[in-house]
Amino acid sequence: LYLDTVVEPWLGGYTDPSLSISERSNYGLRETLLALKKKHQGGPTAVSCHGANPGIVSHFVKQALLNIAKKLGKPAGNPRGREEWAALMRKLGVKTVHIAEYDSQVADSPKKIGRFENTWSVNGFHSEGICQPCEMGWGTHEKQLPKGGSHHTYGCGAAIYLDRPGARVLVRTWTPLHGPFLGRAVTHNESVSIADYFSIRAGRKTVFRPTVHYAYRSCDVSILSIEECFGRGSVLQKEERILMDEITTGMDELGVLLMGDKHGAYWYGSRLTIEATRKLAPYQNATGLQVTAGALGGMIWAMENPRAGIVEADEIDHERVMEIITPYMGKMVGAFTDWTPLKSADAAFATDIDKSDPWQFKNFLFS
């Protein structure tokens, strides 16, 4: 049996000058996985990309859909398989999905100049946030590509990429505790896999797909570290620190924000404080425990389904995984809101917005 939390290239793959931006993207890496999955169908279970995000957020999306259906009084039934789940998302009118995360964990000392500080892997964040392009699943409701946006010329066609790293792309988003804020559209596997899973195709034409992307507000010292790194020509600082015992307060609010014309916006996810984390698992922080719980959920599912072959998080029984991970999630929260990105637009300066459809990506894009 096998499980990972990310598909990665060999050392140097993220910055290999012989590779195009598309080939260095998570879309490109996922296509290599899909080719392997097609070649080796069945066999021992190998769970790909099953930590927090990617991973448990795919299960959050399914639970959020069921919650929205209940709120709207629309029978959801008992969806099984991607066709039925995609049909439900389409019926509910979901256009855009954010993996909306706000990390408010604070250390007992300020960031040191020349040191990249973060609540999880420094090399991992540098790789995906600074070395890889911004990526997102691209919805069928979108009217135009963003500046610098391109379609891939191969594969499933579910995503686009921009000509700049995701840590430089700020988007408007929302969580229940923090309200509206700016997150970074850092590339993640789930942005592609969720969009692909919920696509509805008629022959060679895609008739429905949501826009899906990460909207990540990392912890305070991480934001300063990113700015410093970009000032160094994107060269990683010589020192690094992953915050653990130094954290004095804060939480990781990690969830999915599903938006559409029928229900407005609905956020569903985990609100895990550092205090709750330390009671559940010493020597962890909130961010790490959410990832660890996701890996645990995937491992147990694999043990219970040992001959499933290569699978992604979206293909796994969400109810079983939620049953395993919920005790480690702190407080699970679901909240509807009337927020749209138009409400966060700056009225003092002219911006390129589309008032006829609040869920266009251009309305979320801040910079």
CA 277 to CA 285: how far, in whole Å?
Answer: 6
Domain positions in the chain: 55-284+324-364
Q: Helix-strand-coil percent breakdown of the chain, rounded to 5?
A: 35, 30, 35
Whole-number mean pLDDT of the chain?
97
pLDDT at residue 22 is higher than 90: yes
DSSP structural state of residue 130: I
- Tally the C-alpha atoms within 13 A of residue 316's C-alpha that lie toward its C-beta: 40
Q: Quote the pLDDT of residue 147.
A: 96
Neighbours of 29 (CB within 10 A): 21
Per-residue pLDDT reduced to its tens digit, 35-79: 999 999 999 999 999 999 999 999 999 999 999 999 999 999 999
Neighbours of 10 (CB within 10 A): 7
148 φ, ψ to 5°?
80, 10
β-bridge pairing 247-249 and 106-107: antiparallel
- Tally the C-alpha atoms within 13 A of residue 90's C-alpha that lie toward its C-beta: 20
pLDDT bucket at 329, cuts 50 / 70 / 90: very high
Q: Quote the pLDDT of residue 320.
A: 99
pLDDT bucket at 350, cuts 50 / 70 / 90: low
CA 63 to CA 318: how far, in whole Å?
Answer: 8
Is residue 22 a contact partner of residue 153, using CB atoms and an 8 Å limit?
yes
pLDDT at residue 348 is higher than 90: no
pLDDT bucket at 193, cuts 50 / 70 / 90: very high
Quick one: which H or E segment has residue 359?
A: none
Amino acid at site 81? G
Is residue 257 a contact partner of residue 266, using CB atoms and an 8 Å limit?
yes
Q: Looking at the whole model, is its pTM more than 0.95?
A: yes
Q: Quote the pLDDT of residue 52.
A: 99
CA angle 305-307-311, nearest 5°? 80
pLDDT at residue 238 is higher than 80: yes
CA 22 to CA 133: how far, in whole Å?
Answer: 8
Determine the topology of domain 55-284+324-364 in CATH.
Dihydrodipicolinate Reductase; domain 2 (3.30.360)
What 3-state DSSP class applies to 366? coil
Residues in the chain: 367
Amino acid at site 331? K
Q: Of the candidates 254, 279, 271, 252, which has an alpha carbon nearest to the alpha carbon of residue 331? A: 271
CA 326 to CA 270: how far, in whole Å?
Answer: 9
Quick one: which H or E segment has residue 177?
A: none
Per-residue pLDDT reduced to its tens digit, 136-185: 999 999 999 999 999 999 999 999 999 999 999 999 999 999 999 999 99
Is residue 217 a contact partner of residue 103, using CB atoms and an 8 Å limit?
yes
Mean pLDDT of 306-323: 98
Q: Quote the pLDDT of residue 352.
A: 87
**Where are the strands (E) in 178-294, listed by range?**
179-184, 200-202, 205-208, 211-217, 239-242, 247-249, 251-260, 264-273
Per-residue pLDDT reduced to its tens digit, 95-135: 999 999 999 999 999 999 999 999 999 999 999 999 999 99
Q: Of the candidates 310, 296, 323, 256, which has an alpha carbon nearest to the alpha carbon of residue 97? A: 256
Place of tokens 């420094």: 122
Mean pLDDT of 259-268: 98
Percent of the chain with pLDDT over 70: 100
CA 346 to CA 179: how far, in whole Å?
Answer: 16
Q: Quote the pLDDT of residue 346.
A: 84
